[in-house]
Structure 1
Amino acid sequence: LVFQDLANEGLWKSTKDKSIIVSDTKEQVIEATNKVEFTLTLSPSDTKYKSIHNDTFDFSYTDCFGRAIEGFLDRTLKIGGVMAVQLSRDPAMAFEGPPNYKIVYFRKCNNSTFIAMRKVAYANTMSSRSASQRKLLQFFSEEKKAVLGNLEDVLLEPPRSATGKSKTYLRKTKFLPDLLNDSLEGYSRRVYIDVGGGHGSTRWFEQNYPTRNKDFDMYRIETVPETEVESDDAWEGPPTQMGISDWLWRNVKAEEYVVMKADAEVVEEMLKSKAIALVDELFLECKPIGKGGSSKRAYWECLALYGRLRDFGVAVHQWWG
C-alpha cells in the first residue's frame, strides 16, 4: 500500500526511476511492490556499497536507517531524488532526517510509520544538523510524545461565547517554544500564517506568543478566490487562486519555524497533501454547528480532527477567537 501511495503521489515512478532497496527483508519488500524490478537490492551487510557511483538513483527505500546507511543512500541519490524510510518502532532509535532533505510524505500503515524525503542539496553544502532537525514532526520518539502530552487539555464541549471560556482557554495555552525551551535563534526564518482570518489573530499572536524578541514574517491568506485580500504593508500574501498546500510547499522550508492559524477545511486539505508536516505549531479553528459561520460539523468531528493532528505529531491548539 505504501509503495502504491508513493506512486500515486508522484514520488516513485516504478517503471522509469532507478531505484534501490536496502533491507534485511528485501524479498518481502519486493513482494509488497507487486514484484516491480528494482535497479538494485542490498542487505545492510552487503559488500557492494563502495562500488556504486555517486548520484546513481532517483529513488531509495530502507527499513534499517542508520548513519552508515544514510551516508550511502545520500551519496548515491540524485538531487531531487526521493528517499523513503520505514521508521523503527524502538524509542531508542529516534529519527533525525538529514538536513539536506525536505519531508514530502508521511503515513502510518499496519502499525508502522513511513516517511519520504526529497533531496534538495548535497550534504556538504548544508550546515551541521540545524533547526530543521528540531522540527517536532521529525522526532518520532518518546520525547515527542512527552512534548505533545504536555499541551493544554482539549475542551470537551465548545465555550458558550468567544468572550468567556475561550479567552480563559487561550490564556492557558502551552506554547511550543516554552515546551521545548527553544530560543528560536537557530531557524533561517520564523513565520506566522493566518489563513482565512482578519487582524484579530495577528494582534493576539503579537501580544501573547513567546517570540523570544525574534522577528516573524507575517502572512494573511484569504481562501475564497473571489475575495480580494485587503492591502496592508505589514502583510504579504499569495495569489488567492493557489491552494494553501501548494503555497506552503513553494514558500515554506523545513528549516524554518512555522506557526499557523487555520480552519478545519484548510487543515484537512493540508493533512491530505502532507503539507501539515511543514507546520511546527497550529491553532485549529473548528466552529461546530450553531457557533457561527456555515459549518455543518458536529463538535465531535472537531475533536476527531484534533485527535488526528495529535496522532500525526502536530502541536495543535483549539482556536476560539
Structure 2
Amino acid sequence: MELLSHAEPLILEEPLKPWLTLKRNIQNIKYLPELADISFKRRYGSSIGSWFRKQYPKQNHTFEVFAIEADPTFHPDYATRKGVTLLPYAAWVKNDTLSFEINGDPGKEDEAKASGRGMGRIRPTAGKKMSGKVRSVQAFDFAEWLKQTVSEQDYVVMKMDVEGTEFDLIPRLFDTGAICLVDEVFLECHYNRWQRCCPGERSPKYQNTYEECLELFSSLRESGVLVHQWF
C-alpha cells in the first residue's frame, strides 16, 4: 500500500476532452518498475505488444506477452509480432458466446462497418438488442485462465480495453482472487464520454458514467492494486 502513495493521482473531474487527457496523463504515470525492483519475479506482459515494448520500463527483463483479441481484423497484425501469443477470444466471466457490435464512433459508423473493426460493445447473446452490425465471438473465463497461467511468483502487467465489460470482469477478478496475481493494471474505462465530433453531446454507446469509472479505479487502488487511468 505504501507504493500506491507514490502513484499518480486519479483524475477526479471528468475530462471534457478525454482524447487529450490521455496524452497528458501518460507523462504523469508512475510505472511500478520505477517504484520497486521487479527482478525477483518472472515477467508476464501487457496484452498490447507494441505499446508495452516501447513504453514500459522493463528493467532489462524479458516479458512473455499475451494478446487477448476477439476481433479477427487485428489477428494478422498480431501474427507478425514475435514473442506475442494471440488468444483469439473475448475475455469474459465464463466460457460463453458473446455478441460483438460493429457500430463505431458517431460519424464513423460506415467506416467501421467497411473495415470490419469491432469498435462497439461486447455483450452476452441474451443481452439487449444492438443497433449496429453484430458478430458472434467465443469468450472464455478470463479469471480462471489467469489463475491457470500465472502464479504469485510472476510479475504481471495487464492493459485492459474491453469495451465496457470491465464492469463485469473486475468484480470477477476480485471474487475469484485472481486480482491478487496482477501487479499493475492500465485500464480504459468506457463511459458516456463527451464526443469529439459533436461538442456538448455524449456518446450513446455506453451507459456507465465517469463517476462509476472513478469508483472502479478507486476500489482497485484501495485494494492495493496499482491501476492507471487510460483514455
TM-score (norm 1): 0.47
Q: Who is 1:8 aligned against? A: none
In 2, are the aligned partners of 1:283 and 1:317 still within 8 Å (CA)? Answer: yes
1:141-175 Cα deviation digits (max 9, x unpaired): xxxx2211111011113434454221111111001
- The AA in structure 2 aligned to 1:148 is L
Residue 287 of structure 1 corresponds to which residue in structure 2? 190
What's 1:204 paired with? 51
1:178-221 deviation digits (Å, cap 9, x = unpaired): 112x1x3222x311132xxxxxx533322221111211111111
Q: Does 1:314 align with 2:212?
A: no
Given that residues 287 and 293 in structure 1 are in contact (C-alpha distance below 8 angstroms), is that contact kept between their aligned partners in structure 2? Answer: no
1:9-28 paired onto structure 2 within 5 Å: none
Choose between structure 1 and 2 for higher RCO, CA contacts under 8 A separated by at least 6 residues.
2
Matching residue of 2:43 = 190
User: Among residues 64, 72, 78, which one is paired with 1:217 in the alignment?
Assistant: 64
Cα deviation for residue 253 of structure 1 reads 1.3
Alpha-carbon deviations, 1:101-125, whole Å to 9, x = none? xxxxxxxxxxxxxxxxxxxxxxxxx
Structure 1 counterpart of 2:40, which letter?
A: G
Q: Work out whether 1:174 is the aligned partner of 2:85.
A: no
Contact 2:193–2:210 at 8 Å: present in 1 too? Answer: no
Give the aligned partner of residue 215 of structure 2: 304
Letter of the 1:251 counterpart: T
Alignment of 1:1-321 (within 5 A): 145-180=1-36, 182=37, 184-187=38-41, 189-194=42-47, 201-222=48-69, 224=70, 227-228=71-72, 230-231=75-76, 232-234=79-81, 235-238=84-87, 240=89, 241-263=139-161, 264-265=166-167, 266-290=169-193, 294-320=205-231
**Contact in 1 for aligned 2:46/2:157 (Cα 8 Å):** yes
- Runs of 4 or more off by more than 4 Å in structure 1? none
| Greater Rg over alpha carbons, structure | 1
Q: CA deviation at 1:305?
A: 0.8
1:177, distance to aligned residue in structure 2 (A): 1.3
- After superposition, give the CA deviation of every residue in 1:266-318 in whole Å (9 maximum; x if it has no partner): 32321222211110001111022135583211111011111111121101111
Note the alpha carbon deviations across 1:78-115, whole angstroms, 9 max, x for none.
Answer: xxxxxxxxxxxxxxxxxxxxxxxxxxxxxxxxxxxxxx
Identity in percent: 33
- In 2, the alpha carbon distance for the partners of 1:293 and 1:259 equals 31
Give the alignment's Cα RMSD to 1 decimal: 2.1
Question: What TM-score comes out, normalization by structure 2 length?
Answer: 0.64
| Deviation of the 1:239 alpha carbon | 5.9
Q: Distance in 1 between matches of 2:17 and 2:43?
A: 32
Distance 1:248 1:294 in 2: 29
Kindly tell me the number of residue pairs found equivalent between the two proteins: 164
Is the 8 Å Cα contact of residues 159 and 166 (structure 1) preserved in structure 2?
A: no
User: 1:176, 1:162 → 2: CA distance?
Assistant: 24
